[in-house]
C-alpha cells in the first residue's frame, strides 16, 4: 500500500520527482539532438506534458519552484560572467541603442495594439505593453554552447536585456504604486536610496570580498564554487530588498566578479556544468509547466488575444534587432542571433502579467494569451538562436587566424602532485584557444633498480591529483616514463609529443635554478616557463613584464608576447612593460596582431643601473630571460632572476625563457647527447679557462 501511495498523482516523493526531472533532461538532449532541434525545446514541451495543465505528474510549487527560481537567476549570472568586459566597453553604444530600441518599439506597438485592437484602458495598456518590452535570455545557453559569446551580437543582446528589463521593472513598480495610491515623494526617495546602496554593495563590496576569499581561504575543491554560488543567492536577496527582481541582481553580480573568474578556468567550468546540467534545464521545464494549451478552446476571444499578443511580441523584437543591425552595420546572421536571444519571454513576463491580473488591471484572456506567448516565443527564440548561432560560429571559424603556431602543446613536468592544479590553470591561461591540443602532465623517474615501483607510485599520485580537473576544459593527459635522468625524460617526451612549450613549477635550491632547470634550459631551445604563484591568477591586478634589450630579435619573440596577451585576457590585469622605448613599440605592434583591444603601459627601465622595483601587492613579476650567447642575453637580467629567487616566498613571478638558439644545439634541434654531456662540458670549459689563465701568467714571467 505504501508503494502505491508513492505513485499517487501528482508525485510528491522528492526522490521520484527528481528522478523524473533527470530522465526528462537526459531524453530531451538525446531525442532532440537526433531530430536536429535544440534540446531546450524538448525541455519546454516536456514541462507542458507533465505540468498541472497536462498529465499533472508534478506540481509547480515547492521544491520545483525553488529549483526553477535558481535556474532563472543562474542564466543571468552566467550571462554576466561570460561577457568580455573590454568588448562590452567597446560595444556600449550598441548595447544602449539596442536596449532603448528593444524597449521603445515593442512598447509602442503594444500601446497601439492594446488600445485599438484589444480595447484596454490606459493603465492596463501600459502594463501589458511593458510586458512586450521585457525578455528573458532563455536561449543564452545555446549561444554559450556554440562558442559565440565573444561576438559583438552577444554583449549587445545581453546589455540591451539588462537595460530594458530594468526599465520595465521600475515601470511596473511605478504602475502598481500609482494604482495603490502610494506614488508619492517618499516612494521616489526610497527607490533612489535603495538602488544606490544596492549598486555600491554589488560593484564595490562583491569584488573585494571575492578577491580576499580566493587569496586567503583554502578548502576542498568545491569551496570556491560554494562561495560563488552563495554570492549569487546573496545578490538575488539584496535585489529583492532593493525593490528589484533577482534576475537583475544575478546579472550585476556576474559583472562584478567577472574579472576574477576567467572564462577558461576550472571554477568557471564547474559553475557552467552545474547550471547547464541541473538548474537551467529544470527552469525550462518549469516554463513549460506554465503553459495551458486548453485556453485556445475557450472561444474566439481567447484565440484572438493570444495571436495578437504573440504577434506584437515577435514583431516588436524583430524590428528592434533590424534597426540595430542597420544602425551599426551588423550582418544578417548577427541580427538573427540578436532577435533569437531577445525574443524569448518567460518569468519576468509572467510576473508582470500575474501582478496585473491580481490587481484587476487585466482579465483571464490576457493571462492565458500570455502563457501561449511564452510557449511560442521560447520555441521561436530557441530555433532562431540555434540556426543563426551555428552560421555565426562557422563564419567566426572562417576568419583568418593570426600568425601563431599551428600547434600549441604544453608539457608540465610534475615533481609535486599538489602543484598540478595550479600549473594546469596557468597552462590553460596562456594556451591558444584556437587549437584543441592537450596539456600533458609528465612524471619522470630516473632509471635504477627501484624505478618501476617508484614510477607506479608517482603516476598514481599524479592521477589522483588530476581527478578533480574537468577533462572537458583542461583536456589533461597523464604521461610517465623512466629515463636516464629527469631532464632527459622531459626532452624525450617533448620530442614524442611535439611539445613547443614547457611549464615547470618553481623549485628551491642553492642556486636560482636547480640542476634540472639549468640542464633543461641548456638542452632545449624551446619555450620554458618557470612558475612561482603565491596567489590565484584571477586575483592579480598587475602583470609586470621586464624585457631585455634586443628581445625582438629572438626567434620566440612573437610567441612570448602571445602568451602575455592570453594571460592578460585571462586575468584582466593591467600589463606594465618595463624596458626601453623602442622595445615597447615593437611589443605594442606585435601584441595588436593577436588582440586589437590589448592594452599596456610603459615604464622606462634599464636593469643595468636601476634598482629592481619593489614588489606590489596583487602583482605578478615576469622576467623575460635569455640563454647565454643569445643576442638578448644580459647579465643584468640574470640579476633580476636572482633577486626574484631570493623573494620566492614573498612574491609571485614567472621566469620566461622564449624559444632561442641555445648554447648546446645542432642543426636547429637539441640533442640528448649534448644533454648528458652538458655538465661535463661545463667542467671541461672551466678547466680550459684555468689553463689559459695560468699560461698567461707564466708567459708574462
- pLDDT, tens digit, 9 for 90 and up, residues 113-140: 988 888 888 888 888 888 888 887 778 8
Cell digits of residue 32: 532532440
The three cell numbers of residue 153 are 551580437
C-alpha pair distances (Å), 252 with each of 93, 199, 203, 226, 234: 19, 8, 8, 18, 12
Residue 24: which H helix or E strand, with range?
helix 14-34
| Residue 435 near residue 407 (C-beta atoms within 8 A) | yes
What is the rounded average pLDDT of the residues 283-301? Answer: 75
pLDDT of residue 515: 57
Phi/psi class of residue 629: alpha, beta or left (left: φ > 0; alpha: ψ in -120 to 50)?
left
* Every domain range in the chain assigned CATH 1.20.1530.20: 36-395
Mean pLDDT of the 418-429 span: 78
Question: What percent of the chain has pLDDT above 90?
Answer: 7
For 523-551, the pLDDT digits (tens) are 777 888 988 888 888 888 889 998 888 88
pLDDT at 512 over 70: no
Q: Which of 543, 559, 544, 533 is nearest to 432 (CA)?
A: 559
Helices of type H across 83-222? 85-90, 92-112, 122-133, 140-146, 153-180, 185-200, 206-216
Question: Residue 661: which pLDDT band, with cuts at 50, 70 and 90?
Answer: low
Under 8 Å between Cβ of 555 and 659: yes
Q: Could you say which of 3.40.50.300, 3.20.20.70, 3.40.50.2000, 1.20.1530.20 is the CATH number of the domain covering 36-395?
A: 1.20.1530.20
Q: Is the pLDDT of residue 574 over 70?
A: yes
Would the pLDDT of 663 be above 50?
A: no
Sequence-ordered list of residues with C-beta below 8 angstroms from that of 579, at least 6 positions apart, any chain: 545, 546, 547, 548, 549, 551, 587, 602, 604, 605
Does the pLDDT of residue 404 top 50, yes or no? no
Instruction: Cite the residue boundaries of each domain of the chain with CATH code 3.40.50.620.
Output: 407-505
DSSP 203: I
Closest by CA to 620, choosing from 583, 579, 574, 585, is: 574
Per-residue pLDDT tens digits for 587-622: 988 888 887 667 788 887 766 555 556 666 788 889
Judge whether residue 447 has pLDDT over 80: no
Looking at residue 296, its pLDDT comes to 65
Task: Give the helix/strand (H/E) hosting 181.
Answer: none
| Residue 460 clears pLDDT 80, i.e. is over it | no
pLDDT per residue as tens digits for the range 76-124: 788 778 766 666 667 778 888 998 999 999 999 999 998 888 888 888 8
406 pLDDT higher than 50: no
- What does each C-alpha distance from 421 to 411, 531, 536, 545 come to in angstroms? 14, 13, 11, 24
**Residue 624: helix, strand or coil by DSSP?**
strand
Higher pLDDT, 514 or 632: 632
* Contact assessment for residue 373 and residue 310, using Cβ atoms and an 8 Å cutoff: yes
Residue 101's pLDDT is 92
Please say whether the dihedral angle defined by the alpha carbons of residues 319, 73, 264 and 92, taken in this order, is positive or negative: positive
Task: Report, at the CATH architecture level, how domain 530-670 is classified.
Answer: 3-Layer(aba) Sandwich (3.40)
Q: Are the CB atoms for 422 and 80 separated by under 8 Å?
A: no
pLDDT at 323: 94
519 vs 132: which has the higher pLDDT: 132
pLDDT at site 612: 57
Q: Does 446 have pLDDT greater than 80?
A: no
Instruction: Report pLDDT for 472.
Output: 42
What number is the average pLDDT over the span 369-392? 85
Residue 578 per-residue DSSP state: E
Edge-first strand listing for the sheet containing 410-413: 476-483, 439-446, 410-413, 501-505, 527-532, 652-657, 619-624, 542-546, 574-579, 600-604
The pLDDT value recorded for residue 667 is: 31
pLDDT of residue 695: 54
**Cα distance between residue 22 and residue 15, in whole Å:** 11
Lowest mean pLDDT, pick from 194-203, 264-273, 335-344, 398-407: 398-407
At residue 204, the pLDDT reads: 92
For 213-222, b/e burial (b = at least 16 CB within 10 A) is bbeeeeeeee
Q: What's the pLDDT at 673?
A: 37
Q: Is 280 exposed, middle or buried (0-12, 13-18, 19+ CB in 10 A)?
A: buried
CATH topology of domain 407-505: Rossmann fold (3.40.50)
The mean-pLDDT minimum among 167-171, 337-341, 568-572, 604-608 falls in 604-608
Phi-psi region of 633 (alpha: psi -120 to 50; beta: other; left: phi over 0): beta
Round the average pLDDT of the chain to a whole number and report it: 77
Predicted pLDDT at 397:
58
**Using CA atoms, how far apart are residues 580 and 433, in angstroms rounded to an integer?**
31
Average pLDDT over residues 223-249: 86
* 364 vs 355: CA distance, rounded Å: 12
For 322-327, what is the mean pLDDT? 92
pLDDT at residue 319, as a whole number: 94
- pLDDT given at position 273: 85
Distance CA 139, CA 153 (A): 14
User: What pLDDT does residue 429 have?
Assistant: 83
Residue 234 has pLDDT above 90, yes or no: yes
Q: What percent of the chain has pLDDT over 70?
A: 78
- pLDDT, residue 448, reads 67
pTM of the model: 0.64
Q: Which three cell numbers stand for residue 539?
A: 586575483
Between 15-29, 173-187, 204-218, the lowest mean confidence (pLDDT) is in 173-187
pLDDT number for residue 436? 58
pLDDT at 475 over 80: no
Query: How many Cβ atoms from other residues are within 10 Å of residue 631's Cβ?
Result: 14
Predicted local confidence at residue 554, as pLDDT = 81
Determine the average pLDDT of the residues in 354-367: 74
Residue 7 has pLDDT above 90, yes or no: no
Between CA 86 and CA 92 the distance in angstroms is 10
Dump the DSSP string for 54-119. Answer: TT--S-SSTHHHHHHHHHHHHHHHHHHHHS-HHHHHHTHHHHHHHHHHHHHHHHHHHHHIIIIIS-
Position with higher pLDDT, 684 vs 168: 168
Contact 31, 42 (CB under 8 A): yes
DSSP string of 528-552, one letter each residue:
EEEEE-SS-GGG--EEEEE--TTGG
* CB atoms closer than 10 angstroms to residue 296: 14
- Cα 595–chain centre separation: 17
DSSP symbol at 553: G
pLDDT digits (tens, 9 = 90+) for 156-170: 888 888 788 778 877
pLDDT at 662 over 80: no
Higher per-residue confidence, 356 vs 663? 356
Phi/psi of residue 656, nearest 5 degrees: -110, 110
Q: What is the pLDDT of residues 238-289, one digit of tens each?
A: 988 887 778 778 878 888 888 888 776 778 888 888 888 888 888 888 877 8
For residues 422 and 298, give the distance between their C-alpha atoms in angstroms, rounded to a whole number.
62
Q: Of 98, 12, 9, whose CA–CA distance to 55 is shortest?
A: 9
What are 30-49's pLDDT values in tens digits?
A: 787 677 666 777 887 888 88
Model pLDDT, residue 470: 54
Q: Are 102 and 279 contacting, i.e. CB atoms less than 8 angstroms apart?
A: no
Neighbours of 391 (CB within 10 A): 17
Amino acid at each position: 500500500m505504501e508503494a502505491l501511495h508513492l505513485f499517487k498523482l501528482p508525485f510528491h516523493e522528492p526522490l521520484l520527482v527528481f528522478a523524473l526531472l533527470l530522465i526528462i533532461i537526459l531524453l530531451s538532449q538525446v531525442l532532440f539532438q537526433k531530430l536536429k532541434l535544440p534540446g531546450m525545446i524538448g525541455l519546454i514541451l516536456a514541462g507542458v506534458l507533465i505540468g498541472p495543465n497536462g498529465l499533472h505528474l508534478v506540481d509547480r510549487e515547492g521544491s520545483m519552484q525553488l529549483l526553477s527560481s535558481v535556474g532563472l537567476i543562474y542564466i543571468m549570472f552566467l550571462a554576466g560572467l561570460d561577457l568580455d568586459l573590454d568588448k562590452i566597453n567597446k560595444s556600449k553604444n550598441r548595447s544602449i541603442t539596442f536596449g532603448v530600441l528593444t524597449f521603445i518599439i515593442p512598447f509602442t506597438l503594444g500601446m497601439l495594439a492594446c488600445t485599438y485592437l484589444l480595447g484596454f484602458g490606459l493603465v492596463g495598456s501600459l502594463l501589458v505593453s511593458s510586458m512586450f518590452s521585457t525578455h528573458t535570455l532563455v536561449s543564452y545557453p545555446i549561444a554559450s554552447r556554440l562558442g559565440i559569446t565573444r561576438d559583438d551580437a552577444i554583449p549587445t543582446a545581453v546589455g540591451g536585456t539588462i537595460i530594458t528589463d530594468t526599465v520595465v521593472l521600475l515601470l511596473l513598480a511605478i504602475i502598481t504604486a500609482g494604482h495603490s495610491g502610494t506614488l508619492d515623494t517618499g516612494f521616489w526617495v526610497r527607490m533612489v536610496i535603495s538602488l544606490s546602496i544596492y549598486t555600491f554593495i554589488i560593484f564595490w563590496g562583491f569584488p573585494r570580498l571575492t578577491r580576499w576569499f580566493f587569496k586567503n581561504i583554502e578548502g576542498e575543491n568545491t569551496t570556491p564554487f560554494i562561495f560563488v554560488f552563495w554570492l549569487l543567492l546573496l545578490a538575488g536577496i539584496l535585489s529583492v530588498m532593493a525593490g528589484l527582481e533577482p534576475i537583475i541582481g544575478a546579472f550585476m553580480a556576474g559583472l562584478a566578479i567577472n574579472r576574477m573568474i576567467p572564462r577558461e578556468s576550472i571554477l568557471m567550468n564547474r559553475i557552467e556544468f552545474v547550471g547547464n546540467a541541473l538548474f537551467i534545464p529544470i527552469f525550462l521545464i518549469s516554463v513549460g509547466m506554465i503553459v495551458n494549451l486548453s485556453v485556445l478552446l475557450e472561444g474566439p476571444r481567447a484565440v484572438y488575444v493570444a495571436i495578437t499578443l504573440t504577434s506584437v511580441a515577435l514583431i516588436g523584437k524583430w524590428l528592434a534587432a533590424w534597426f540595430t543591425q542597420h544602425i551599426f552595420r551588423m550582418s544578417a546572421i548577427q541580427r538573427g542571433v540578436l532577435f533569437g536571444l531577445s525574443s524569448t519571454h518567460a518569468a519576468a513576463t509572467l510576473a508582470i502579467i500575474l501582478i496585473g491580473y491580481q490587481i484587476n488591471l487585466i482579465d483571464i484572456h490576457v493571462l492565458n494569451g500570455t502563457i501561449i506567448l511564452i510557449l511560442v516565443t521560447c520555441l521561436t527564440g530557441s530555433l532562431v538562436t540555434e540556426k543563426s548561432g551555428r552560421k555565426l560560429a562557422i563564419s567566426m571559424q572562417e576568419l583568418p587566424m593570426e600568425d601563431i603556431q599551428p600547434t600549441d602543446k604544453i608539457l608540465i613536468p610534475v615533481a609535486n602532485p599538489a602543484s598540478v592544479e595550479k600549473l594546469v590553470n596557468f597552462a590553460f591561461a596562456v594556451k591558444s584557444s584556437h587549437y584543441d591540443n592537450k596539456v600533458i602532465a609528465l612524471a619522470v623517474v630516473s632509471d635504477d633498480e627501484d624505478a618501476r615501483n617508484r614510477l607506479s607510485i608517482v603516476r598514481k599520485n599524479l592521477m589522483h591529483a588530476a581527478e578533480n580537473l574537468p577533462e572537458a576544459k583542461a583536456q589533461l593527459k597523464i604521461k610517465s616514463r623512466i629515463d636516464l635522468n629527469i631532464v632527459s625524460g622531459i626532452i624525450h617526451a617533448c620530442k614524442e609529443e611535439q611539445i613547443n612549450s614547457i611549464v615547470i613549477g618553481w623549485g628551491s635550491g642553492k642556486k636560482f635554478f636547480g640542476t634540472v632547470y639549468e640542464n633543461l634550459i641548456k638542452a632545449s631551445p624551446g619555450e620554458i616557463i618557470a612558475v612561482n604563484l603565491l596567489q590565484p591568477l584571477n586575483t592579480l591586478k598587475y602583470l609586470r613584464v621586464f624585457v631585455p634589450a634586443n628581445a625582438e630579435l629572438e626567434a620566440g619573440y612573437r610567441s612570448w608576447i602571445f602568451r602575455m596577451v592570453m594571460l592578460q585576457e585571462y586575468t584582466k590585469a593591467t600589463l606594465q612593460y618595463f624596458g626601453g622605448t623602442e622595445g615597447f613599440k615593437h611589443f605594442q605592434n606585435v601584441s595588436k596582431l593577436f588582440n586589437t583591444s590589448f592594452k599596456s603601459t610603459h615604464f622606462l627601465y634599464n636593469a643595468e643601473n636601476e634598482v629592481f622595483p619593489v614588489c606590489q601587492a596583487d602583482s605578478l613579476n615576469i622576467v623575460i630571460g635569455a640563454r647565454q650567447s643569445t643576442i638578448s642575453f644580459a647579465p643584468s637580467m640574470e640579476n633580476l632572476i636572482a633577486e626574484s629567487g631570493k623573494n620566492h616566498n614573498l612574491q609571485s613571478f614567472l621566469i620566461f625563457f622564449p624559444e632561442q638558439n641555445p648554447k648546446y644545439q645542432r642543426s636547429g634541434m637539441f640533442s640528448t647527447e649534448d644533454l648528458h654531456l652538458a655538465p661535463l662540458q661545463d667542467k671541461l670549459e672551466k678547466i680550459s679557462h684555468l689553463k689559459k689563465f695560468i699560461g698567461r701568467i707564466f708567459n708574462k714571467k
